[in-house]
């Protein structure tokens, strides 16, 4: 009976140690990813992205329910050019059980990135899956100009002119200097 609190405390302590290690790997991976994005050399960017992916894998192995590590892995894989694998990592991050660890804005940003990847690997210009993610993304992350612009592009591809105009207008309300949204509205008004 006296050993129960000790056993419970040791389990909590071990869990905490694994969490700390997972966060450490995540932070290191995020730093490597940042360096990969800012690298001017393609070979250096690839090397840093591989290291970031390895750190993300370590963080995922220690804490598989942390969506941030899955997103980090997806971003590293995207730099490496593995779009479908990156999409799989984002799907894992946005799964109901894992997505609980994300704020609404973070979830919206992840949905935006997933829509970008879906469009990148889409065959024959299919935009419907991306539109689903983007409509959710703009609801969750209302200040994401890029999501509104991409949503407008998808609506344009589907020849839904009115919806495209609305999406671009929303983008301009958030960022009046958006040249992408301004040019799209000029193009659609002709």
Q: Write the pLDDT tens digit of every residue in 8-61.
A: 445 445 556 778 899 999 999 999 999 999 999 999 999 999 999 999 999 999
74 touches 53 (CB < 8 A): no
Whether residue 5 has pLDDT greater than 70: no
φ, ψ of residue 88 to 5 degrees: the values are -60, -40
Segment 145-163 shows an average pLDDT of 94
Whether residue 143 has pLDDT greater than 60: yes
Write down all domains in the chain, each with its CATH number in brackets. Answer: 1-102 (1.25.40.10), 104-190 (1.25.40.10)
The better pLDDT of the pair 169, 124 is held by: 169
Segment 107-127 shows an average pLDDT of 90
pLDDT band at 2 (very low <50, low <70, confident <90, very high): very low
Whether residue 4 has pLDDT greater than 60: no
Mean pLDDT in the chain? 90
Segment 99-124 shows an average pLDDT of 91
The closest of 127, 134, 74 to 109, measured between CA atoms, is 134
At 19, list the tokens. Answer: 């969490």
Question: Tokens 């973070």 belong to which residue?
Answer: 106
Summarize pLDDT for 63-96 with one digit per residue, the tens: 999 999 999 999 999 999 999 999 999 999 999 9
| pTM of the shown model | 0.85
DSSP annotation string for 2-49: THHHHHHHHHHHHHHHHHHHHHHHHHHHHHHHHHHHH-SSHHHHHHHH
């Amino acid at each position: 009976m006296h050993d129960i609190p000790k056993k419970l405390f040791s389990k909590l302590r071990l869990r905490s140690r694994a969490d700390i290690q997972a966060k450490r790997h995540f932070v290191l991976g995020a730093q490597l990813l940042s360096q990969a994005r800012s690298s001017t050399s393609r070979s250096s960017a690839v090397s840093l992205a591989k290291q970031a992916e390895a750190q993300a894998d370590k963080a995922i192995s220690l804490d598989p329910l942390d969506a941030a590590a899955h997103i980090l892995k997806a971003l590293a894989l995207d730099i490496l050019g593995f779009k479908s694998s990156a999409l799989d990592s984002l799907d894992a991050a946005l799964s109901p059980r894992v997505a609980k660890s994300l704020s609404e804005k973070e979830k919206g940003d992840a949905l935006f990135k997933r829509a970008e990847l879906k469009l990148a690997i889409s065959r024959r210009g299919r935009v419907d899956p991306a539109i689903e993610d983007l409509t959710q993304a703009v609801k969750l992350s209302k200040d994401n100009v890029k999501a509104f612009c991409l949503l407008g592009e998808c609506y344009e591809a589907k020849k839904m002119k009115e919806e495209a105009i609305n999406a671009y207008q929303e983008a301009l309300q958030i960022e009046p200097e958006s040249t992408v949204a301004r040019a799209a509205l000029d193009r659609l008004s002709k």
